[in-house]
């Protein structure tokens, strides 16, 4: 039994099921359109990761813990799956493939590399924590309040998908305290020296306008994923699935089918 909340689309076919794993501050809901479109030929399971959306909250938010959560989901499905993870979800999916290769057919890693980064996202955590949630009755009102500390409309729109307006006051469906404390782990990576490489097919799919997957990371990637292929989506940044959804979907189909 898994404790993660799952969203299901489509029905099982001869193709392996697809597991979609969102990134930091995300949810299965963010991937709804792509999941529904991909489900025309296979079953698709999208997860809410721990400390996000409708899944459980826990004091631990490490990649070994997240990879173990994903392993439990696939074991419950009863057969290996194709796995697509974006950003934080991509790191969790990579560690899943390295530690439980028996559960992963093909792996797609969305705009992230198996390296430690330096760009903390705690400024966004602090913006959400500082926002006055009392009396908010609409998304427009929430956006106006968040705009006092977050300038970019697209980033506000993304974060506000995790704001539940139904209770009074409204509440964030993110365990912000734990995510803040765990930020070094989230932007970091794990020691893989004791792990053997994943020999299955892997696609590192990046946004051409993003700097998350640098060319100098490729030797390290290939040491862990010797069958890795690399592709970029023109005109897309880090949120490539949101900025270029049709192109992202097309790349998924070519690789997975």
Within 10 angstroms of residue 246's Cβ, the number of other Cβ atoms is 10
Per the CB < 8 A criterion, the answer to whether 77 and 104 are in contact is no
C-alpha–C-alpha distance, residues 179 and 51, integer Å: 8
Tell me whether residue 238 is one of the annotated catalytic residues.
yes
Structure tokens at 36: 């529904």
* DSSP code for 50: T
- The SS3 assignment for 8 reads strand
Strand partners, 81: 104
Tell me whether residue 58 is one of the annotated catalytic residues.
no
**Residue of 52, 86, 238, 241 with catalytic role:** 238
**Residue of 87, 162, 182, 206 with catalytic role:** 87
**Residue of 58, 177, 211, 257 with catalytic role:** 177
Q: What angle do CA 155, 97, 256 make, to 5 degrees?
A: 75
Find how far residue 121's CA is from the centre of its chain: 15
7 backbone dihedrals φ, ψ, rounded to 5°: -120, 130
Complete edge-to-edge strand list for the sheet that includes strand 228-233: 5-9, 44-48, 18-21, 81-86, 104-110, 202-207, 228-233
Helix H or strand E encompassing 229: strand 228-233
Q: Is 123 exposed, middle or buried (0-12, 13-18, 19+ CB in 10 A)?
A: exposed
Structure tokens at 174: 């993110």
C-alpha–C-alpha distance, residues 256 and 247, integer Å: 14
Tell me whether residue 27 is one of the annotated catalytic residues.
no
The residues annotated with a catalytic role in the active site are: 87, 177, 238
């Amino acid at each position: 039994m898994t404790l993660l909340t799952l969203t299901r689309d489509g029905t099982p076919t001869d193709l392996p099921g697809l597991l979609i794993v969102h990134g930091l501050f995300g949810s299965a809901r963010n991937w709804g359109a792509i999941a529904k479109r991909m489900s025309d030929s296979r079953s698709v399971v999208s997860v809410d990761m721990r400390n996000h959306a409708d899944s459980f909250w826990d004091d631990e938010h490490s990649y070994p813990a997240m990879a173990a959560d994903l392993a439990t989901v696939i074991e419950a499905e009863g057969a290996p799956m194709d796995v697509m993870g974006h950003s934080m979800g991509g790191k969790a999916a990579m560690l899943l493939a390295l530690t439980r290769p028996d559960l992963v057919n093909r792996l797609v890693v969305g705009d992230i590399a198996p390296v430690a980064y330096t760009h903390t996202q705690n400024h966004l955590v602090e913006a959400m924590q500082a926002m006055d949630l009392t009396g908010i009755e609409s998304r427009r009102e929430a956006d106006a309040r968040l705009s006092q500390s977050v300038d970019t409309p697209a980033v506000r729109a993304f974060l506000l998908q995790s704001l539940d307006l139904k209770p009074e006051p409204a509440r964030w469906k993110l365990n912000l305290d734990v995510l803040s404390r765990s930020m070094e782990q989230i932007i970091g990576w794990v020691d893989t020296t004791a792990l053997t490489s994943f020999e299955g097919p892997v696609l590192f799919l990046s946004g051409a306008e993003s700097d998350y997957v640098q060319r100098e990371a490729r030797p390290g990637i290939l040491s862990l994923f010797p069958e890795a292929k690399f592709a970029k989506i023109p005109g897309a940044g880090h949120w490539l699935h949101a900025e270029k959804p049709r192109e992202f979907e097309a790349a998924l189909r070519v690789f997975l089918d």
